């Protein structure tokens, strides 16, 4: 079985998993919590997750991960650093890497990952997520810019999962053709757009931190978890984000 980056895996039995990705920690815990023995400090869901913490996604405690002796480490090509994953592989650990850039790719990726973990059938939450996102969007479309950081200002660019998810809700990223996936932006030189969408992660944008930089523009503060995570959150993400995006806010 191959992961999202084409690496072939032959893992016969998985009883111990370390996750270096918050959304994947939630996916494993919602499916078979007993498999998960380690997760990052940022793995906040489920809220009662009680496993060994291995520091962050960008600076995991590789020695501690190795000490936990997982049958499989699950990671993401974007969130985790190649050098950390190579150290884990060099220690003899199997590392499964995900890399979805669209909602359908994420749903398929989750199915493959859970199959490697021994799930013979998709869990209920994954079936529900597929059903939720099957329906196409019908309605008016709006142009958006989606900052993800300030100091310096950065935004969603090309081929991002969050950009695809927004497009499925009727909101088209005006930077979708940018050469960079997360370009630095000049707020005074952006393409024409209708709405600025401000997620609360990775930068914690809020009604008091972000909208004021876009005077006279409609702003929407949205849940970063529901915009950027792929896992059980996808079941409710469509409804939550639809409501949040429909709530005008002018600084």
**pLDDT tens figures, 110-151:** 999 999 999 989 999 999 999 999 999 989 999 999 999 999
Report the C-alpha gap between 45 and 237 in whole angstroms. Answer: 15
Sign, Cα dihedral of 154, 4, 223, 244: positive
Report the C-alpha gap between 24 and 39 in whole angstroms. Answer: 9
- The pLDDT assigned to 250 comes to 46
Within 8 A by CB and 6+ apart from 172, the residues are 141, 142, 143, 144, 166
Range of lowest pLDDT (58-62, 73-77, 104-108, 117-121): 117-121
Q: Given a cut of 60, is residue 17 above it in pLDDT? A: yes
Question: Using the 8-state DSSP alphabet, how is residue 34 labeled?
Answer: G
Token digits for 98? 């995900």
Range of lowest pLDDT (4-8, 28-32, 44-48): 4-8
Catalogue all structural domains in the chain, each as residue range(s) with its CATH number: 17-132 (3.40.50.1980), 142-245 (3.40.50.1980)
Q: Which of 145, 143, 144, 182 is nearest to 160 (CA)?
A: 182
Count CB neighbours of 102 within 10 A. Answer: 18
- The pLDDT assigned to 11 comes to 79
- The pLDDT assigned to 163 comes to 98
Residue pLDDT, tens place only, 204-227? 999 999 999 999 999 999 999 999
Contact 53, 38 (CB under 8 A): yes
- The pLDDT assigned to 65 comes to 98
DSSP states of 184-239: B--GGGPPP-SEEEEESSSS--BTTBSGGGSTTSEEEEE-HHHHH--STTHHHHHH
Look-up of token digits 């959304």: 23
| 23 CB burial (10 A radius; 0-12, 13-18, 19+) | buried
Report the C-alpha gap between 37 and 50 in whole angstroms. Answer: 9
- The pLDDT assigned to 9 comes to 86
Token digits for 131? 């059903």
Question: In the sheet where 36-39 sits, what is the strand order?
Answer: 52-53, 36-39, 17-19, 72-76, 95-98
Q: Given a cut of 70, is residue 49 above it in pLDDT? A: yes
Report the C-alpha gap between 162 and 180 in whole angstroms. Answer: 15
**Cα separations in angstroms, 152 against 40, 183, 185:** 26, 10, 8
Sign, Cα dihedral of 243, 248, 221, 165: positive
Q: pTM of this prediction?
A: 0.94
Report the C-alpha gap between 86 and 16 in whole angstroms. Answer: 19
């Amino acid at each position: 079985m191959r992961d999202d980056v084409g690496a072939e895996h032959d893992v016969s039995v998985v009883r111990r998993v370390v996750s270096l990705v918050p959304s994947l920690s939630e996916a494993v815990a919602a499916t078979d919590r007993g498999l998960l023995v380690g997760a990052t400090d940022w793995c906040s869901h489920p809220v009662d997750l009680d496993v060994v913490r291995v520091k962050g996604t960008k600076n995991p405690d590789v020695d501690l991960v190795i000490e936990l002796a997982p049958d499989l480490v699950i990671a993401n090509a974007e969130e985790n650093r190649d050098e950390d994953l190579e150290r884990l592989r060099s220690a003899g650990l199997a590392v499964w890497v995900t890399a979805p850039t669209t909602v359908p790719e994420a749903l398929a990726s989750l199915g493959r990952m859970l199959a490697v973990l021994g799930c013979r059938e998709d869990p209920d939450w994954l079936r529900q997520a597929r059903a939720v996102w099957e329906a196409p969007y019908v309605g008016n479309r709006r142009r958006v810019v989606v900052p993800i950081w300030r100091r310096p200002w950065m935004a969603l660019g090309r081929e991002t999962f969050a950009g695809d998810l927004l497009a499925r809700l009727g909101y088209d990223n005006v930077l979708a053709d940018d050469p960079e996936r997360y370009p630095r932006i000049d707020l005074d030189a952006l393409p024409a757009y209708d709405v600025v969408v401000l997620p609360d992660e990775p930068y914690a944008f809020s009604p008091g931190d972000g909208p004021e930089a876009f005077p006279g523009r409609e702003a929407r503060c949205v849940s970063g978890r529901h915009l950027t995570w792929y896992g059980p959150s996808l079941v409710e993400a469509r409804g939550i984000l639809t409501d949040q995006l429909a709530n005008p806010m002018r600084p």
